[in-house]
Structure 1
């Protein structure tokens, strides 16, 4: 699922001649802490509740106040994981989307992103999760995929993240289309891959959970 498909058509951009009062009213109405501001179809930054609410003069236009996150956006063709990462890194609730001409297309809210996450998880269907830890130099998804497919299974999705227990290693989380991990684990361990966790279908873990946990933690949802 890409960013263009997640744009929230119900939330329009603010214009530079809109007032601070209007911006705050819209934030309250749409239940977000930021809103995109555009000038002649170009994204110029986010108006944030934190900065606007401190202003004494609510009749100031947005052209007269400091906007934030001018360089923060995603392109319309980027995956929704990229949207999540931009939101997490910048601790924002809305992510602007631009096209190839750098023109503003719309915003994606955190709720939109969570909905996409839920859809993707549902589409992955039944299966199991394997978590491997390895030095980054040893990481080869093609090799790992070949070993798994030789045991008549397939990788539905994969996610690479730092290994919190070892700064020199990475952690690879795999969603597989099988619930029987016995042969797969034996094969991977024979090739010296270290399995740190496994979750069969029905457990409370799923691929991408690390990203979701980060999203909820940093955005206080």
Structure 2
């Protein structure tokens, strides 16, 4: 699940000497609104179609315009989760990948990262999602797993985030391998856990779009 595994060969880098007209032609051909700019193996940033449109000068080169997202990059050995974090931070659909020496290796798209992350969290597996609220001092995944397993259910993955309704608490989102939640909810509540949300999946999903959609719901985005 390292970022270099998801580098796409479909998005070519531009050089500083390439003109805006060439950049727009490439963007139109591969149907993307942003391209990386690289010179002698160094990632210099991204150029976006809106920047080129605003300049309205097709003869300008990449070296003559202001690039953005110079820090929108990850190292090749970092987890794909870091791609998602950096992409969200810079509001970019693609993230550059370099080695530890700074040499440009390519880009990873957010779509590919989301799909990979969804697969890693077993989002495509038939089951259900349960959301609990608790104080951090009360959090013990081992204890919660023990309770869940008494109902013949396994926790496939979990995510901790801040509780939007109470800043002093955390929100624990669990992906379970069983679609039926009635008895699991009752058991957790009997042990004093507060359930703030849930959803049950009636059937497995197979398409990439469905996996990404389920991931976004799982992450509560």
Measured against the shorter chain, the TM-score band is: 0.7 to 0.9
Asked whether the equivalents of residues 175 and 206 of structure 1 are also in contact (C-alpha less than 8 Å), the reply is no
Corresponding position of 1:63: 63
Over 3 Å counting, the alpha-carbon distance change for 1:90 and 1:137 in structure 2 is farther
Distance in 1 separating the partners of 2:135 and 2:119? 32
Over 3 Å counting, the alpha-carbon distance change for 1:137 and 1:70 in structure 2 is farther
Cα offset, 1:46, TM superposition: 0.8
| Residues 140-195 of structure 1: CA deviation (Å, up to 9, x unaligned) | 33443344345543221112233222233222111112234455434433443211
Corresponding position of 1:209: 217
Corresponding position of 1:109: 109
Q: Unpaired runs of 5+ in structure 2?
A: 204-209
Distance in 1 separating the partners of 2:8 and 2:76? 13
Distance in 2 separating the partners of 1:23 and 1:52? 9
Q: Unpaired runs of 5+ in structure 1?
A: 215-221
Distance in 2 separating the partners of 1:136 and 1:153? 24
Corresponding position of 1:96: 96
Distance in 1 separating the partners of 2:100 and 2:151? 43
Asked whether the equivalents of residues 46 and 70 of structure 2 are also in contact (C-alpha less than 8 Å), the reply is yes
1:16-95 mapped onto 2 (5 Å cutoff): 16-95=16-95
TM-score (norm 2): 0.81
* Other structure's SS at 1:13 match: coil
How many correspondences in the alignment? Answer: 213
Corresponding position of 2:173: 173
TM-score (norm 1): 0.81
Corresponding position of 1:3: 3
Over 3 Å counting, the alpha-carbon distance change for 1:103 and 1:141 in structure 2 is farther
Cα offset, 1:123, TM superposition: 6.8
Distance in 2 separating the partners of 1:40 and 1:13? 11
Corresponding position of 1:157: 157
Distance in 1 separating the partners of 2:63 and 2:190? 63
Over 3 Å counting, the alpha-carbon distance change for 1:136 and 1:32 in structure 2 is farther
* Other structure's SS at 2:46 match: strand
Asked whether the equivalents of residues 128 and 175 of structure 2 are also in contact (C-alpha less than 8 Å), the reply is yes
Distance in 2 separating the partners of 1:121 and 1:160? 13
